[in-house]
Amino acid sequence: MSLELELKGQLGEFAFDLSLSVPVRGVIGVFGPSGVGKTSLFRAICGLERGLQGRIVLNGDVLQDSEKRVFMLPEHRKIGVVFQDSRLFPHLTVRQNLRLAQQQAAQPQFGIEELAEACQFTELLDQPAPSLSAGQRQRVAIARALAASPRLLLLDEPLAALDLASRQHLMAFLNKVSERIPMLFISHSVSETLHLCDPIITMGNGHIERVGGPDEIGQHLPRRRGHGRVVRYNPETGELVLQLDDFAPDFEANQTIGLVSQPSWLKGRD
């Protein structure tokens, strides 16, 4: 599968000039600072944004061609999307949300119980959607998108509301699922992006900056924070030994650093 797009236009005061041609397989990362247009790119691909002019072709299917006045409706594109806010139907239970999505699939690839177990919310299946925490809603939103068996899945910071253990579990699950359903994945976590994604697309203000593998793109990504595990701590001497993750910031001898125990960006909200 391949994705090709050429899009230009103005959304509010923001100018876009997007050009991309990339094979679609596995997990493709989309990385960039807040406000550069990553979510707008996703909205254009899935058909929710009509303000950009140009052409989008997915695996030979023309999704948009402004010159020929072609614009395929979102429901016909067979593209799943998970935004930062879960957007579950509030009047339905978790099971009913998944069943409704599953009915959209000509040949469902996943069962509801299978997804619930994989995304760790089996005990919530008969709970009303509004009763869920932020982390629980996000796990259900990922499962609901997969229940529809899309040909492409767009994930906009899908793990932001989860604790570290849940993020690692779902990263492994998504990586496995991507062998069947390719994904585009937005994350502000350098570690997440480099661990999960290949290739990686980096964006500047309204344009694509680079496309490449983790080794190449990793040299250009900011490494301002990371996480690790305390191996040894001696409160009397102050000696602290940490085991850092693979993509932690670079340190130098005698450098002063700040430490936060259980920082909010790693705390579970579920």
Tens of pLDDT, residues 110-150: 999 999 999 999 999 999 999 999 889 999 999 999 999 99
The answer to whether residue 7 scores a pLDDT higher than 90 is yes
**Any idea where the domains of the chain sit in the sequence?**
2-213
Residue 127, pLDDT score:
95
Confidence grade of residue 268 (pLDDT, cut at 50, 70, 90): very low
- In angstroms, rounded to a whole number, what is the distance separating the alpha carbons of residues 41 and 49? 8
The answer to whether residue 226 scores a pLDDT higher than 80 is no
Query: pTM here?
Result: 0.82
pLDDT, mean of residues 33-41: 92
> Does CATH number 1.20.80.30 belong to domain 2-213?
no
157-181 burial, b at 16+ Cβ within 10 Å, e below that, comes to bbbbbbbeebbebbbebbeebbeeb
The CA-based angle 136-155-149, given to 5 degrees, is 85
Residue 223, pLDDT score:
61
Confidence grade of residue 54 (pLDDT, cut at 50, 70, 90): very high
- In angstroms, rounded to a whole number, what is the distance separating the alpha carbons of residues 218 and 191? 10
pLDDT, mean of residues 11-20: 92
pLDDT, mean of residues 154-167: 85
For the stretch 74-84, pLDDT in tens is 999 999 999 88
Residue from 79, 211, 60 nearest 146 by CA: 79
